[in-house]
Structure formats: C-alpha cells, structure tokens
Amino acid sequence: MTILTSLVGTKAFGSIMLLLQEANAAPVDAGGQFSLTEMVKHMGPVAIGVVIVLLIMSIYSIAIMVERYLTYSAAKKQSREFAPRVAQALKNDRIGEAITISDKHKKSHLAMVVNAGLQEFQAHEQSSEISGDEIDASRRALQRAIAIKTAEFRRGLSGLATIGSTAPFVGLFGTVFGIINAFQGMKNAETAGIAAVAGGISEALFTTALGLLVAVPAVWLFNYFTGKVDGFIVEMDNSASELIDYFLKNKTRQLKP
C-alpha cells in the first residue's frame, strides 16, 4: 500500500513538473495578454464602448454620492444647532427671533419647515383672535415645506437607482459580444485551444466585472441615502406637529379671559 501511494505521488509530481516546464516554455506575449493592460489593448470597439459607458455611469454616480453626502451632513449639522435655539425662542414666545434664527440656517431641513409655519402664523398673529382656519393655513404651509424639502433630499437618488439596476446589464451586453468574439476567434483559428478564445473570454469577464463594480456601490448608497431621507422626513413631520401644538396652545392662551 505504501509503495502504491509512493508511485502515485511520484506520478502526480512528475505531471505537475511537466506542466510547469510547458508553462515556462510558452511565449511571453501569449501570457501577457491576460494582464489588465493587454486586455484593454486587445478589446474590440463594442467592448471599448461598453467600458466608456460604464465609466461615465461610475463618474456620475460618484458625483451624486459626494454631493448628497455633503448635503445630508450639512442638513444634520445645522439642524442640531438650530433645534435648541429655536425651541428656546418659542418657549419665550419670541416668534420674530425664531424666524431670524431659521433664516440663518438655510441648509437645515427643520429650519425651512419651521420658518414656513412661523411665517404663516405671524401673518395672522396681529388679529385679536386666531381662528381654526388660520391654524389650518399654517398646517398647509408646513406640509408644502415638507414636500419641497423632501423632493430636494431625493434629488439624484433616482439616478443612483437607475445606474445600480442597469450597469450589470450594460456589462452583460459587453459579455455577450466578448463570447461572440471568442467563438469567432475559435472559428478563424480552426482550433479549440485556449489561445483562440482567451481574448474574447477576458474581454467578456472584464466588462462583467466592471458592470458589477459600478452597480454594487450605487445600489448600496441608494439604500443608505434613502434611509437618511426617511429619517429626515420623520424629523420634519415631528417638528411640524410640535409647531402646530405650539400654535394651538397660543390660541388657547388668547381665548382665556
């Protein structure tokens, strides 16, 4: 048994050594075609077009990612500064000061919503009594501000979703033509060797990998940014509800003798 095992091991070792010798004897240029640079050089016009389209999609998605990240970060930072200051002003019934504070935080989503409600409320504050219709007008102003800010927050996210869903198919388009080129190379060379199909196969795999590389970050960040926007919407709704409660309490104080 030990002798048989030794013979099998010796035969396997000899086969491996033979393969290594054949690989070393192979031309350097044939092996060089599998490097990234050589693959790009040997690509057909269709594959080059696919790569260019995917690179444009990648650049566009990166631009959206950076711009949205900066926008959301600025909104979060300014809202943290705005919330306690405006709460203190409203606690002391200084609506004019609250509006001034809101004007100084242009990038804050909370400031935009609160400012819209306070502006509408202040327009009717001079009257002797604040009616229910005026409260409803303030509520509608808050809803309009939330809708506008939500649309601003969602700007560009549809582009990320489109890139994330279409980039793999663009890469697949290049893959199909790469496989076609591989079979054409096999037909022209009248052989089924790896050298006849290596160029087409490498072209196909490269476009597939590039399509996935573009799509995966776009999908991941689309979901991440969508979660951030949903959180901002909740914050704006809560702020609007608290402001309406403030208006109702102010109305109740005016109705007391």
- Taking only the tens place, the pLDDT of each residue in 25-65 is 444 344 444 566 666 666 778 888 888 999 999 999 999 99
* Cα three-residue angle 112-116-117, rounded to 5 degrees: 120
- Separation CA 136–CA 140 (nearest Å): 6
- Mean pLDDT within 229-248: 89
Q: Which is higher by pLDDT, 35 or 93? A: 93
- Mean pLDDT within 179-203: 63
Q: Phi then psi for 130, rounded to 5 degrees?
A: -95, 120
pLDDT of residue 219: 94
Per-residue buried b or exposed e for 43-79, using 16+ beta carbons within 10 Å of the residue's own CB: bbebbeebbebbeebbebbeebbeebeebbeebbebb
Q: How far is CA 148 from CA 1, 100, 104, 115, in A?
A: 81, 21, 19, 13
**What is the pLDDT confidence band of residue 6, given thresholds at 50, 70 and 90?**
very low
Query: Is the pLDDT confidence value at 2 over 50?
Result: no
Tokens of 208: 């597939």
Percentage of the chain beyond pLDDT 70 is 69
- Mean pLDDT within 189-196: 55
- Separation CA 121–CA 140 (nearest Å): 11
